[in-house]
Amino acid sequence: MPRIHLRQAIQDESSFRHFVLTNPKHGVVLRLVRWALVDLAKRIGSAIRAHDLAAKQSLLLKTKYLAAEAHDRTYIRQEHALKQALEHFYDAHTVEHLLAAQAHSIQAALRQHKDITRRWLHPSSATFSNWQGLNGNANVSVALSLRSCRFRIFELTSEAQSLYHTGHRNQCWDFKHQADSIRSDLAILADVMNANSTYKLLREYFGQKEISRLLEWARSNTYLGTLERLHKECLIAKFKCPLETRGSRSKLATRTGAHSGKENS
């Protein structure tokens, strides 16, 4: 996609959000996100120099959301890639057994949260059914649900900020309250997703040495290695944001090397 089209995409809020949320091509989206984060860092600097609080808060919110999106897409691709590695090295019975155990664990974790399943899992599975299917990996459906939940928080917070800075304070608090209530769903989904990641499942089942072998194969034979590189570049762009703290910067190496983790909005 030519650079001029990228700039037009990021200026058109509605089209940009829809593209980032729904496009199934992770590499395309992460390249756009990387460029957008670089552009946002420059715009945040301009907003700070202009003492434009509304613009600064809006741009920081977009930065946070896009960085989380890069994380989520890399995580989802890792789930698919590790399943491919498992299928490459092991027989169908072993693969089926492990994925069934993963699905059972997720169902057990969400049994007491039927409202979350209704609000996020079912709609997300329908919306993103074209994302290579769910490929038998139940945790992908949880990750997609978390993305939908995070995006809704981003929308509500963005609207709350806009209302606040235009003087509609009462309406602002309504949107903020909605976003805060959804964050509890986000936390539960993140806990379930991380507890049932394919990486953790295979490490516990086979040990660290074997999961390292599976990861090495996945990075060499799927698109995972490229996405991890793009994700790291996105994080570097995010941490160049003028308002990132020194403490946050120190976490960069840890985050870029992590196989799973929460990126709460």
Residue 265 lies in a domain: no
Residue 185 lies in a domain: yes
Backbone angles phi, psi at 129, to 5 degrees: -65, -20
- pLDDT digits (tens), the chain, 265 positions: 445 455 565 567 777 888 888 888 899 999 999 999 999 999 999 999 999 999 999 999 999 999 999 999 999 999 999 999 999 999 999 999 999 999 999 999 999 898 998 899 888 877 777 665 555 688 999 999 999 999 999 999 999 999 999 988 888 999 999 999 999 999 999 999 999 999 999 999 999 999 999 999 999 999 999 999 999 999 999 988 876 544 444 444 444 444 544 444 4
Among 262, 265, 264, 259, smallest CA distance to 74 is for 259
Residue 264 lies in a domain: no
Residue 115 lies in a domain: yes
What's the pLDDT score for residue 42? 92
Residue 227 lies in a domain: yes
Residue 199 lies in a domain: yes
CA–CA–CA angle 230, 204, 110 (5° rounding): 80
Residue 38 lies in a domain: yes
Indicate the number of domains in the chain.
1
Contacts 24+ apart (CB under 8 A), 108-111: 109/191, 109/192, 109/195, 109/196, 110/192
Quote the tokens at residue 242: 């003028």
Residue 262 lies in a domain: no
Among 26, 35, 72, smallest CA distance to 265 is for 72
What's the pLDDT score for residue 248? 45
What's the pLDDT score for residue 240? 84
What's the pLDDT score for residue 8? 61
Separation between Cα atoms, residue 173 and residue 161, nearest integer Å: 10
Range of the domain at 253: 3-257
For residue 8, count other CB atoms closer than 10 A to its CB: 13
